[in-house]
Structure 1
Amino acid sequence: MSDRYIDFANSSFGHRLVGALGLPTPVRLERWQAGRLRPVDGALLLGGGPLVQPVHAFAHKLTEQIYSYGAASAPGTPWIPGHGPKVRAVVFDASDLTSNEQLKQLREFFQPLMKNLDASAHVVILGRDPHSLGDPFAASTQRALEGFSRSLAKELRSGGVLQLIYVGEGAEDQLEGALRFFLSPKSAFVSGQVIRLNACATQVQDWTRPLAGRKALVTGAARGIGASIAETLARDGAEVILLDVPQAKNDLEALAARLGGQSITLDICAEDAATQLIEHLPDGLDILVHNAGITRDKTLANMTPEFWDAVLAVNLNAPQVLTKALLDNGTLHDNARVILLASISGIAGNRGQTNYAASKAGLIGLAEAWAPSLHERGISINAVAPGFIETQMTAHIPFGLREAGRRMSSLGQGGLPQDVAEAVAWLAQPGTGAFTGQALRVCGQSVLGA
């Protein structure tokens, strides 16, 4: 649905009025458009330590405009504050910072940039996981990057976003895939996140169709976020299999026909759901997206057993049971990707959603707990935690709560189903086996939780 406040704030009269009143002026975010060839439409600025070198090796695939700043040895055309072009994307390598004194490099690099960033700028800071460092002072310094990056993300304007990526030893060759996502409009509603990349043997072969040759199952796919996920996976080359309840059969079959995919109508909570699903998947799966979910909101004092049981059954028990069955049967292939749709409610909690928040936190816990053993088969499992997303469900929220949900993020607006779908599509890629057991928030850096 339309966000009338953004429409008004970006009109000529509205912009002057909200500015005079000191109200926020959220901008319309730049999102990925069909036919776009490069992730970065503008200047890419590189700076910092040794990880800049491997980034520079593929930077020409991201954009034609590559600049350097802050180090005489940094690759690219030197960028001069106030004289160079507005910067659309930034990669700063802080992985070699090991002392408190060296943290001043963050201020020295970023301070001149703040007034020279283009609209919808995407910033990435690279570091090393503090848990991997033996020196407590070095670990402390790298951990300081989290506070800096999350705070700086909240200072960005005009739709800018910022992420911190901890690059594990041997994961340098996975930077291209990560930066293709985090420096592009595909991550328009992701900000203030801390990502951990580890070594991964698989790579994307064709960036125009990174999911080509892979079969993907999406549950709850008939409409809303599920439909957008299916469309995005198909756009990226996957053969999609769409699942939803029998009541959604017409919408499901229409979408499957449009995407050239297959539809399955099934109650995922049925006792024989796993058996039925396996029978529908004789050729196996490479990508499994558990999107199906329901809400039955009540404060705990008024929560009925039926409301509690229904939410836990659909949102948590079904993904557990079905995933285990697909793994045990061999239907889920080696090097598969499992993506669980969680929620920021599962991270920060939400009044009236004890059942829903418990189920979504359980999905995050499932990804964390299952990741180590699945890694032996090259399988990654992650959760995506959306914040306020503009859907039919949020359209029915009372006006005051809906406006609060939209504005309570660094970007000052709700996200779109496409934003969640882009995150899922990235996690579904072969190379994102480097990212596992984690929760990626698609929430515009919501003030709820970290």
Structure 2
Amino acid sequence: MADRYLHLTGTAPGRFLTRRLGLPQPVRLRRWTVGTPTLEGPLLHLTAGRSALGSTLAPVLAATGLKVTEHAERPAGIVVDATGITTAAGLGDVHAALHPVVRSLSTGGRVVALGTPPSPDDHHQAAAQQALEGFVRSLGKEIGRGATVQLLRIAPGAAASAESTLRFLLSPRSAYVSGQVIELTAAAPGPVDDWVVPLAGRTALVTGAARGIGASVACVLARDGARVICLDVPQAEEELSRTADRLGATALPLDITAPDAAARIAGAAPEGLDVLVHNAGITRDRRLANMPAERWASVVEVNLDSVLRTTDALLDAGTVNRGGRIVATASIAGIAGNNGQTNYAASKAGIIGLVRSLAPRAAAEHDVTVNAVAPGFIETKMTAAVPLLIREAGRRMNSLSQGGLPIDVAETTAWFAQPASSAVNGQVVRVCGQSLLGA
């Protein structure tokens, strides 16, 4: 459904009226297209105090495709290296670096602060580096004009593994991701022969792929070069086949809760899976006092239990190849809760628990990463059916003052799926425009 308010604020009378009334003034977000694959303008590289990365950062920034400079009147992006901040007093260097230039950032620009993981052995360093999180989240809420702000924590020795993440964060692909804290391990990146099609030669399976977010995820993975298997329930077979045919993909009509689901997935991918995307999900909303047991059970079964079962079975059978990627769909509801969605929120919080527990073991035992996207208000047929006032509140209650699109979730999933994203593991990234609800 079209966002008429966003269209209104894009007109001169609309801007005048909303400014006079003190209403939100969202900026139409610039997303990736073939003609505009990168941000337009230079990348300003700043250092707060002394960098802990030394000379390893420069070639990684150069690989983003942006012109890197230490002085720019209208930068498209700003990277501030705060990895050397180890004291509370040192935080003043972050202010000194960004204060003079933050207003010059282009509309729809990107700010990425680089930090290091807080140390369990040095509470001064831990305090200073944790302070960067509050700083970034606050700046994301005040910067405006469609710009986004992130904190990227780089483990010692992990700078060379940051390329795929910086390419994503400093590009139009991350348009609806803001206020996020992402941690990188020192895992070596897998090879990418062509960044136009970074998933070339890889096989991906997407559940819930007939429509909505799942169809968009399948589309982006195919665009990035993957051979895609689209899975959805047999009742959606006609729509699933249309989606698969459009992408040159394979349709797999299958109920993910079926006892033989993992075996049938393995049979559809005889050479194994390189990317497994758990996107299938349902809602059966009702307040707990009015919720019958079958509504509770069906949501937990589809959204969580089936994910646990099939993931375990596919990993144990070796169907997920070494160097593979597992991406699950959580939700902002699993972080902040939602009225009438105790079942749904429980299932999506469960996905977060799965990711945090399984990620280190899957990496150690199978060379597989496990991450999750947590969408906020995304413009789909489901949200179009929400009552008008609630829908408008959902759209405006984030730092970008608008709803996201399925493509925003898909782009984040595709970044997780890249072979070069080996260092991204155990992360839950909210695709919510920095929702004002939840952390």
Please tell me the TM-score bracket, short chain as reference: over 0.9
> What TM-score do you get using the length of structure 2 for normalisation?
0.96
Q: Assess if the C-alpha contact under 8 Å between 2:304 and 2:347 holds in 1.
A: yes
Measured after TM superposition, the shift of residue 114 of structure 1 is 2.5
Aligned to 1:240: 228
Q: Assess if the C-alpha contact under 8 Å between 1:52 and 1:92 holds in 2.
A: no
Aligned to 1:55: 57
Flag the 1:63–1:278 CA change in 2: closer, same or farther, 3 A.
Answer: closer
> What TM-score do you get using the length of structure 1 for normalisation?
0.94
2:165 to 171, 178, 186: 178
Indicate yes or no: 2:88 matched with 1:100.
Answer: yes
Secondary structure of residue in 2 paired with 1:434? coil
2:174 to 182, 187, 199: 187
Secondary structure of residue in 1 paired with 2:90? helix
Measured after TM superposition, the shift of residue 176 of structure 1 is 1.4
In the alignment, the residues of structure 2 paired with residue 291 and residue 440 of structure 1 have an alpha-carbon distance, to the nearest angstrom, of: 15
Indicate yes or no: 2:195 matched with 1:207.
Answer: yes
Which range is displaced more, 217-226 or 200-209?
Answer: 200-209
Measured after TM superposition, the shift of residue 269 of structure 1 is 1.2
Q: Percent identity?
A: 51
Which range is displaced more, 248-257 or 344-353?
Answer: 248-257
Aligned to 2:262: 274
Number of residue-to-residue matches in the alignment: 434
In the alignment, the residues of structure 2 paired with residue 340 and residue 64 of structure 1 have an alpha-carbon distance, to the nearest angstrom, of: 31
Structure with greater contact order relative to length (CA < 8 Å, sep ≥ 6): 2
In the alignment, the residues of structure 2 paired with residue 274 and residue 184 of structure 1 have an alpha-carbon distance, to the nearest angstrom, of: 36
Aligned to 2:20: 20
Show structure 2 runs of 5+ residues with no match: none
Show structure 1 runs of 5+ residues with no match: 69-78
Residues 108-257 of structure 1: pairs in structure 2 closer than 5 A: 108-130=96-118, 132=119, 134-205=121-192, 206-257=194-245
In the alignment, the residues of structure 2 paired with residue 158 and residue 343 of structure 1 have an alpha-carbon distance, to the nearest angstrom, of: 25
Q: Assess if the C-alpha contact under 8 Å between 1:87 and 1:116 holds in 2.
A: yes
2:413 to 424, 442, 445: 424
Q: Assess if the C-alpha contact under 8 Å between 2:203 and 2:228 holds in 1.
A: yes
In the alignment, the residues of structure 2 paired with residue 400 and residue 441 of structure 1 have an alpha-carbon distance, to the nearest angstrom, of: 23
Indicate yes or no: 2:400 matched with 1:398.
Answer: no
* Deviating 4+ runs (over 6 angstroms): none
In the alignment, the residues of structure 2 paired with residue 113 and residue 63 of structure 1 have an alpha-carbon distance, to the nearest angstrom, of: 21
Secondary structure of residue in 2 paired with 1:337? strand
Q: Assess if the C-alpha contact under 8 Å between 1:95 and 1:126 holds in 2.
A: yes
In the alignment, the residues of structure 2 paired with residue 67 and residue 290 of structure 1 have an alpha-carbon distance, to the nearest angstrom, of: 40
Which residue type is aligned with residue 221 of structure 1?
A
RMSD of the TM alignment (CA)?
A: 1.3
Secondary structure of residue in 2 paired with 1:287? strand
In the alignment, the residues of structure 1 paired with residue 168 and residue 141 of structure 2 have an alpha-carbon distance, to the nearest angstrom, of: 20
Residues 294-333 of structure 1: pairs in structure 2 closer than 5 A: 294-333=282-321
Measured after TM superposition, the shift of residue 371 of structure 1 is 1.0
1:37-75 CA-partner distances (Å, limit 9, x unpaired): 5x332111001143374332243443453221xxxxxxx
2:401 to 392, 406, 412: 412
Aligned to 2:40: 41
Q: Assess if the C-alpha contact under 8 Å between 2:60 and 2:162 holds in 1.
A: no
In the alignment, the residues of structure 2 paired with residue 255 and residue 355 of structure 1 have an alpha-carbon distance, to the nearest angstrom, of: 29
Which range is displaced more, 223-232 or 263-272?
Answer: 263-272
Measured after TM superposition, the shift of residue 281 of structure 1 is 2.1
In the alignment, the residues of structure 2 paired with residue 340 and residue 436 of structure 1 have an alpha-carbon distance, to the nearest angstrom, of: 12
Measured after TM superposition, the shift of residue 283 of structure 1 is 1.6
Q: Assess if the C-alpha contact under 8 Å between 2:161 and 2:188 holds in 1.
A: no
